Amino acid sequence: MSELEQNQTFTQWLGQYKALLFKVVRAYAVTAMDQDDLFQEIIIQVWHSIPSFRQQSSTTTWIYRIALNTAIKWANKERKHTQSTETLDQLPPILQGPAIQFDERLTWLYEEIYKLDEIDRSLSLLLLDGFSYKEMATILGITESNVGVKINRIKKLLISKSKQQDYHGI
């Protein structure tokens, strides 16, 4: 694959799957600075993966796999190197877009998803994007039945928490 073809593929994928990448970033990084760092790390990994993409799975599955694996590694690394970032949080984030009024329920949902372990967090995102259990199992390297059990437990947990926070209306 030529560098020109890789550039074209990267540009197309970034345009087409930016929302997917933002979902993963938002689920794994809380501060704007961390979200910027994780987004950069993910797009670097996507860039490097393009030549090895063999179309044995859909592009969406491939991008999700890269994004989730990168986010999990990044989160583990960040946990080990947690430092005070009070001064860094004052800098404007790269991913900051126009001021958008977020739905309070969606904000709550992402906060709760962030509290889950890496696999459950990944399953939640994949479920929200409408992936089948089989696709989720393939992306995460677990069995379909394990996917079903975990999703059932996640749903019960989120329903229970939403009842404690009745103002979210979930």
The rounded mean pLDDT for the chain is 85
Range of the domain at 100: 3-167
- Over residues 67-76, the mean pLDDT reads 91
Read off the CATH number of the domain in which 95 is found. Answer: 1.10.1740.10
Estimate the crossing angle of helix 3-28 against helix 118-128, to 10 degrees: 110
How many distinct structural domains can be found in the chain?
Answer: 1
Convert 123-150 to b/e letters by CB count within 10 Å (16 or more is b): bbbbbeeebebebbbbbbebeeeebeeb
Residues in the chain, total: 170
pLDDT at 97 over 70: no
Other C-beta atoms closer than 10 Å to the C-beta of 19 total 8
Q: What is the pTM of this model?
A: 0.70
Tens digit of each residue's pLDDT (9 = 90 or more) over 29-68: 888 899 999 999 999 999 999 999 988 888 999 999 999 9
pLDDT band, very low/low/confident/very high, at 170 (cuts 50, 70, 90): low
74 Cβ partners below 8 Å, 6+ apart? Answer: 28, 29, 37, 38, 41
String of DSSP letters for the chain: --HHHHHHHHHHHHHHHHHHHHHHHHHH--SHHHHHHHHHHHHHHHHHHGGG--SSS-HHHHHHHHHHHHHHHHHHHHHHT----TTGGGSPPTT--S-----HHHHHHHHHHHHS-HHHHHHHHHHHTT--HHHHHHHHTS-HHHHHHHHHHHHHHHHHHHHHTGGG--
Smallest CA-to-CA distance from 18 within 67, 56, 71 is with: 67
